Amino acid sequence: MASQSSPTSQNAGGGKAGDVRQYSNAAQFPVAPSFSIGEIVYVYLNNQAQPDGPLVVIAIEEGNMYRLKWQSNGAEYFCLVSENLLYRPGYPRLAAFLSSDPGLCSFKQFRRLHARVLLSKQDAIVELQEQLDDLDSQEPTAYFLHTLRQDRNTSRRALLSNISEQLTEYNTLLQSFYWHLERKRPRESQLQSISNWLEGNKPMVEAESSAYLDWEDLGSPHNPSDHGGLESVLERYSVRLQKTRVGGIFRTERDLEKSTDKHVFHFSSDRVATISRFITAICAVSTLTVPIAVLYTITSMEWRLGVVTAFTVVFAASLCMTQTRNFEIFSATAAYCAVMVVFVANLPA
C-alpha cells in the first residue's frame, strides 16, 4: 500500500526524512499463473474467429506474461495476459467451459439408470425378506423368535446383516434419485447455449457426445429462490445488447476475461439481480402512486372502477414476473384491490 511520511518527521541526525509520494499506478498482488511451463495451449491471434496453435509455454515472466513456442516450427511468440490463453481442445476446454458459469454447468443425471439399479436392489431385498420369512417359519425353537441376544440361529444373524447392508445401499440410491427428481430442469436458454458451444467446438468424439443429446436428462445447480421471469428477460436482453454501451451494465471486467470466444457471452448474475430489484421497486411504487394520482383527476365512478381494474391487472401481472406462488399472487392481488376500492369510496364525488 502506498503511503506518505509526515513532512515534519526527522531522522536520528536531525535531517528531514524522505517523502514517499502516492503512486499513480499501484502495483498488483502477485497471482499464480494459470498455465505451467511445458503446457500446450492455444491463443487467439490477430482477431481470428478460431484460436491458433498448438503452442508450448516455455517461460513465464513478470505479470504472468507467457513466452510461447510454436510446435510446428519452433518460432517463439510473446503472449500478454489480456490475450487469454485457451486450454487444449477436447475435454480440457470442455471442462473449462462448463465450470466458467453455474448456468452452463449441466451434467447428465441418468434417471433411467437410477431407476433400473433401484429396481434391481429392490428385488434383491424382497428376495432376502422372503428368505428371512422362511427361516422364521421353519425355526424349530420358538423361543429364539422371542429373543435376539440368545438366538442361536447363525443363518438368521448372517441374513439380517446382509439385509442391513443392502438396505443401506438401497436407501442411499433412493435418496439420491429423489434428490435428482426434485432438481429444476435447466432453462431452455442454458441448454441451447451448451448445444451451440458443443456444435461449434466439437470437443468430444461423436460416440461420446451423445450424453448431451437428451436435454430432458440434464441437470444443473439449483436456481436462486428469487430468480423469476424478470431475471430471465434481463438475461436474454443482456445477450442481445452485448455489443452496445447498455450491455456493459450486465457484466464486469472479470466476466469479460472468462472467454475470448466471440460466440460466448458471460454476464454478472449479481448485476442482473440488482437491476431486477430496481425495476421491481419502481413497479411496486408505480402501481400505488400512479392510480392514486389518476383517480383524483377522475370524477366518474365508472371510470374510477375501470382504473382500479386496470391497475389491479397490472399489479397481478407484475407479480407473475417474480418467483411467487399462485396463492401468494391471489392474496396480494386481493389485498391491493381492497385498498384501491376503499380509497375510491373515500374520494369526494
At 283-325, the pLDDT tens digits run: 888 888 888 888 888 888 888 888 888 989 988 888 877 777 7
Q: Tell me what the mean pLDDT of segment 81-101 comes to.
A: 71
Of the two residues 147 and 50, the one the predictor is more confident about is 147
- CATH architecture observed for domain 40-86: Roll (2.30)
Residue written as cell 440488482? Answer: 274
pLDDT, tens only, 216-251: 888 887 655 456 677 777 777 666 666 666 656 666
Confidence of residue 255 (pLDDT cuts 50, 70, 90): low
C-alpha to C-alpha distance for 82 and 42, rounded to whole angstroms: 14
Percentage of residues in the chain having pLDDT higher than 90: 12
Say which range, 49-63, 65-79, 232-246, 291-305, has the weakest mean pLDDT: 232-246
* C-beta separation of 135 from 155 below 8 A: yes
Q: Which pLDDT score, from 0 to 100, does residue 69 have?
A: 82
Domain boundaries, the chain: 40-86, 110-182, 271-346
Q: Tell me what the mean pLDDT of segment 51-75 comes to.
A: 75
User: Does residue 174 surpass a pLDDT of 90?
Assistant: yes
Of the two residues 154 and 27, the one the predictor is more confident about is 154
Q: Tell me what the mean pLDDT of segment 159-179 comes to.
A: 93
Confidence of residue 163 (pLDDT cuts 50, 70, 90): very high
Q: Which pLDDT score, from 0 to 100, does residue 246 have?
A: 61
* Cα 339-280-305 angle, rounded to 5 deg: 30
User: Does residue 61 surpass a pLDDT of 80?
Assistant: no
User: Does residue 7 surpass a pLDDT of 50?
Assistant: no
